[in-house]
Amino acid sequence: MYGRGYGGKPGPGMGMSFGPPVTPPVVKQLMIASAVIYVASNFIQEIQVYGSVYPFLVWQQGYLWQPFTYMWLHGNLMHIAMNMLVLWMFGSQLALVWGPKRFLRYYLLCGIGAGFIIATYPYLASAVGISTRLDIPTVGASGAVYGVVLAYSLTWPDRTIMLIFPPVAIKAIWIIPVMFFMTHVMGGGNVSEIGHLGGVVVGWLYLRRAGQTGAMLSVDQLRARWHRYRMRRKLRAVQFEDHASRKRRRDEDHRTFH
| Domain coordinates in residue numbering, the chain | 2-209, 218-258
Per-residue pLDDT, 19 = 74
Residue 223, SS3 per DSSP: helix
Q: Average pLDDT of 229-248?
A: 74
**Class of residue 158 by CB neighbours under 10 A (exposed 0-12, middle 13-18, buried 19+):** exposed
Fold of 2-209: Rhomboid-like fold (1.20.1540)
Please choose, from the candidates 97, 41, 26, the residue with its C-alpha nearest in 3D space to the C-alpha of residue 71. Answer: 41
Q: How far apart are CA 18 and CA 9, in angstroms?
A: 16
CA distance linking residue 3 with residue 134, whole number of Å: 40
Q: Could you give the CA distance from residue 230 to residue 158 in angstroms, rounded to a whole number?
A: 18
- How many C-beta neighbours within 10 Å does residue 114 have? 34
Q: What are the residue ranges of helices labelled H in 44-141?
A: 45-51, 55-60, 66-69, 77-98, 100-127
By mean pLDDT, which of 18-22, 101-105, 207-211 is the weakest?
Answer: 18-22
Tens of pLDDT, residues 95-130? 999 999 999 999 999 999 999 999 999 999 988 888
Mean pLDDT (whole number) for 130-140: 89
Under the banding of pLDDT at 50, 70 and 90, the label for residue 162 is: confident
Longest dimension (CA), the chain: 94
Quote the pLDDT of residue 168. 82
Q: How many CA atoms lie within 13 A of 38 on its CB side?
A: 20
What pTM does this model have?
0.77
* CB neighbour burial string for 46-71, b if at least 16 within 10 angstroms, e if fewer: ebbeebbbbbebbbeeebeebbebbb
- pLDDT tens for residues 47-97? 999 999 999 999 999 999 999 999 999 999 999 999 999 999 999 999 999
Give the gyration radius of the chain's Cα atoms. 23
